[in-house]
Structure 1
Amino acid sequence: AFIAGAISAAFLESEPERIFDIALALIPERSEYARVVCAVRDFHAREPQDFRACMAMLTSDFGYDRYPGVCHIIPNAGVCALALLYSTSKAANGALASRLSRGVEIATMCGWDTDCIAGNIGTILGVAGGLDGVEDKYRKPMDDFFVCSSAAGSLNIVDLPSFAHFLAALGCREAGVATAADLAKIEGSTDICFDFDLPGSTHGFRTLSNYLRIRNRRLEGSEGAGCIEVLIDRPMPNALARLYWKPFYRREDFDDERYSPAFSPTALTGQVMRCRLAAERWTGPADLVVRPYARLTWDKTIIEGAPIALSGGPGWTDVEFTLPDAAGSSIDEIGFTFDTSGTERWFGYLLLDDFSVTGKGSLEVDFSKQRPEFATVTPGSANHGSWKLEGGRLVAASEEAATGKGTAEFFVGRFHARDQRVSARVIPRQGQGHCVLFRTRGTITGFAAGFTAPGEVAILRNDMGWRGLATTSFAWELNKEYRLEVEAVGDTAILSIDGNPVLEAKGIDLPLGMTGLARTSAGACEWLDFSTKEL
């Protein structure tokens, strides 16, 4: 309640002391939480510049040694209060940084649970100070991109401006003033839409070249609207130069693997990338020539579209590019390559606005083109059991002792996908419960279909445990290859085996969700391939 109250208060108050008082009033007066934060408040009143002395007091009177256990809430609450109140203090060199910077840096220097404490303080002071209080040294490296770690790989790629729009829409709904557009943002979509209207927003766009630099530009004559401005500073002949956005990430994109994030691609084969481009030429060739492209993560193949010549005059050029067949791999870059083949070197700005990736997509997974990464296998997120690549196949196994029921999941696909066709080839090796997933929302809710018992196939509903929706006889055998396919449209799912429909179930009451593979009971199987197509 203290941290949540402080964040809420920060929308209306900017002074840390006032934020502290409002948050304090929300917790029990005689609680241990109140005792530690009040101790910090009293110490700050006596020593308003020396946060290290205050930390020494916390270590002595409220240290981890006094609160055993895994999560040391009381000591960490003390550091949160310390960092909040001392955020107005000067650094050792006498400099007065922004309160956000100073508070986060103090929280980190104090040690203990630095990520949570700094995150809480950054949120409070970030809300209080707004964008003007966020120094470039913190904002620029983020580039509007944030990684989460959850079972939903497509949701782990977070675009901060889009997430800000989502949170604002939630606030409008809670206040009873949500528009239809707000409700659509909350419901979610597989579409990717970037307008660059929020101040400074880049939506995670990047460049590959020392000759390219990105920033946000406010558009003249259009209140509140923005675009991406790319300075093209005379690339050398035949120099590599790309402007791109990443719809999929790999282990190679990160410096470490704490929290083991997993990813599923958010831009798929068959979708259409659209945007508007304009050029502002200073010197060099008459035209700036770019090509839309997509890169395949398996072998880094770049597939380009037709060249687009931008004259450097006024006006925008509309661009469309259909994302190509990923050939069993995933698309991990989409954007534009720059033609640097001539001897003249182009100097000026490229402008990009209204970027989107829309339409129905499809994903084919060739397991010979995947790799074990982040405690899972690309391009999915594994939960429980064993999921290993062997000989170009995905080998899955689960035991009763591992999870209590022998269940295990491998989530693939986009969280907000609706009607879909899911297909996979499987060889049951041991036990039962060899299934494909569809419209699954995570580990405790969703649907599966496959070989659920000897001589039986079923369509199952997961509601904190698997239960049957529909069942029929089918004489499946161990060590024999089958193709399982589920087509889910509206509230109906049809299971086919080797191209023949065998079972139908009504009551598919989740309108959207991921696809994937599952073990619904103990056993083992081999998956030869996997595909999902949005209908």
Structure 2
Amino acid sequence: MTLTPYVRNTYTQEDQILQAVTPVGGEWNDIQFVIPDTEGAMIDEIGWILESPSPLLNRAIGSLFIGQVRVTGSAEYKIDFAKQAKEFASITPFSHHRGKWELRDGALHCTAEGDTSSYSGNYYAGDTVVEATIKPISGTSHCLITRAQGVMRHYLAGFDGPNSVSFIKQDFGTKRLITARYDWELGEEYRLKLVSEKDRFILYINGDNVLECKETAYAHGMFGFGCLEDGENEIKDVHVRTSGQKSV
């Protein structure tokens, strides 16, 4: 018998077949494979295809026991919104809190209604780098989110008022831990990059280090996007890298 690892691409609905292995009979086998890059699409299945290459009249007969399946290790992937879909009022692969979220011309379009946010990724992700191109259309609050452990427990970093950026702690109430001057304009695209490494956080905009902060309240969590007031923006070209996350 052979076991062939595979993943299914949600966008194309096709199985991506990986290298087949032949397990040793009569003992436990440790079989590993790396989940491949899908160029901005999501994966909705991972697993193994069980086959017997034996002749038709001499098929393999037996039992296969699966002791444990884990998804673990560091991750790096991109999210292409041209390959996402709207399901149950949410845009894959995100869950939203308030606001209106739509797909428009290959971008994620957000219309915020007060405190509005969106989340994705591994809840147990530790050190994380999240990047996205954000175009503020209206309003003065447009942020990346990291270490999210819920709607009321996370960090935000990004545009926060006219000509300013902030690193903000959300803990059943918002607290600005640091604010710096940064001249930004509505209608312009900006590349935001938020690095979360242990207790150190750095926000880059268009490659420039615009603020740094140290904070220890949340050691792991999801990533996402958030606004603290009414507004509108577009998000695209999301790139995520994580390390130190627990298995699922």
Supply the distance in 2 between the matched residues of 1:460 and 1:340 (Cα, whole angstroms): 56
Query: How many aligned positions are there?
Result: 241
Q: Deviations over 1:230-276 (max 9, x none)?
A: xxxxxxxxxxxxxxxxxxxxxxxxxxxxxxxxxxxxxxxxxxxxxxx
**Maintained 8 Å contact 2:110/2:232:** yes
Aligned to 1:28: none
- Describe the SS at the equivalent of 1:356: coil
Closer, same or farther: CA 352–456 of 1 in aligned 2, 3 Å: same
In structure 2, the residue matched to 1:398 is 112
Matching residue of 2:225 = 517
SS of corresponding position for 2:67: strand
Distance 2:87 2:225 in 1: 18
Q: Distance in 1 between matches of 2:68 and 2:91?
A: 34
- SS across alignment from 1:368: helix
Question: What residue is the counterpart of 1:422 in the other structure?
Answer: 130
Partners of 2:182 and 2:34 lie apart in 1 by 41
Distance across 2 between alignment mates of 1:425 and 1:472: 20
**SS in structure 2 at match of 1:441:** strand
Structure 1 residue identity aligned to 2:189: E
Find the aligned partners of 2:223 and 2:234 in 1 and give their Cα distance. 17
Structure-2 residue corresponding to 1:377: 91
1:343 to partner: Cα distance = 4.8
**CA displacement, residues 92-134 of structure 1 (integer Å, 9 cap, x when unaligned):** xxxxxxxxxxxxxxxxxxxxxxxxxxxxxxxxxxxxxxxxxxx
What is the distance in 1 between the residues matched to 2:220 and 2:29? 35
The verdict on how the C-alpha distance between 1:480 and 1:342 changes in structure 2, with shifts beyond 3 A counting, is farther
Amino acid at match of 2:168: L
C-alpha distance in structure 1 between counterparts of 2:84 and 2:37, whole Å: 16
For residue 4 of structure 2, what is the aligned residue in structure 1? 291
Residue 182 of structure 2 corresponds to which residue in structure 1? 474
Q: Offset of 1:465 from its aligned partner? A: 2.6
Give the secondary structure class of the aligned counterpart of 1:420: strand
Aligned to 1:510, the other structure's residue is in SS state: coil
Aligned-residue offset at 1:347: 2.9
Give the alignment's TM-score, normalised by structure 1: 0.43
Give the distance between the partners of 1:289 and 1:389, measured in 2 at CA: 41
Residue number among 35, 41, 44 corresponding to 1:332 in the alignment: 44
Distance in 2 separating the partners of 1:441 and 1:309: 41
Q: 1:533, CA displacement in angstroms?
A: 1.2
RMSD: 1.7
Q: 1:294 aligns to what SS in structure 2? A: strand
More strand by share: 2
* Contact persistence 1:427–1:480 (CA under 8 A): yes
Match in the other structure for 1:46: none
The equivalent of 1:93 in structure 2 is: none
Asked if 1:350 is matched to 2:64, the reply is yes
The structure that is helix-richer by fraction is: 1
Distance in 1 (CA, whole Å) between partners of 2:203 and 2:175 is 16
* Aligned match of 1:237: none
Q: Which residue of 2 aligns with 1:366?
A: 80
Identical positions, percent = 34
- Read off the aligned partner of 1:387 and give its amino acid letter: W
Q: Is the 8 A contact 1:383 1:408 kept in 2?
A: yes
Q: How does 1:25-424 map to 2 (within 5 A)?
A: 288-310=1-23, 313-339=25-51, 343-344=55-56, 345-399=59-113, 406-424=114-132
In structure 1, runs of 5+ residues without a counterpart are 1-287, 400-405
Structure 1: how far apart are the matches of 2:155 and 2:236? Answer: 21
Inter-partner Cα distance in structure 2 for 1:390 and 1:341: 47
Query: 1:340 Cα shift?
Result: 5.7
Asked whether the equivalents of residues 466 and 520 of structure 1 are also in contact (C-alpha less than 8 Å), the reply is: no
1:339 Cα deviation after fit: 3.5
Separation of aligned partners in 1, 2:134 and 2:222: 19
After the TM superposition, which parts of structure 1 deviate over 6 Å for at least 4 consecutive aligned residues?
none
Cα distance in structure 1, aligned partners of 2:216 and 2:26: 52
Aligned AA (2:106): G
SS of 1:322's equivalent? coil
Match of 1:110 in 2: none
Q: What is the SS of the residue equivalent to 2:82?
A: helix
Bigger relative contact order, structure 1 or 2 (CA pairs below 8 A, ≥6 apart): 2
Residue 491, structure 1, aligned to residue 199, structure 2: yes
Q: Read off the aligned partner of 2:131 and give its amino acid letter.
A: S
1:304 Cα offset (Å): 2.3
2:234 corresponds to which residue?
526
Checking the alignment, whether the CA contact within 8 Å between 2:54 and 2:60 is kept in structure 1 is no
Aligned AA (1:332) = D
Q: Deviations over 1:471-530 (max 9, x none)?
A: 111111111111111101111110001122110011242111111011122110000132
User: Residues 496 and 502 of structure 1 are in contact (CA less than 8 Å); yes or no, is this contact kept in structure 2?
Assistant: yes
* CA apart distance, 1:392: 1.2
AA partner of residue 434 (structure 1): H
Shift of 1:410: 0.6
Work out the CA distance in 2 between the residues paired with 1:521 and 1:470: 19
How far residue 361 of structure 1 moved from its aligned partner, in angstroms, is: 1.6
Max Rg structure: 1
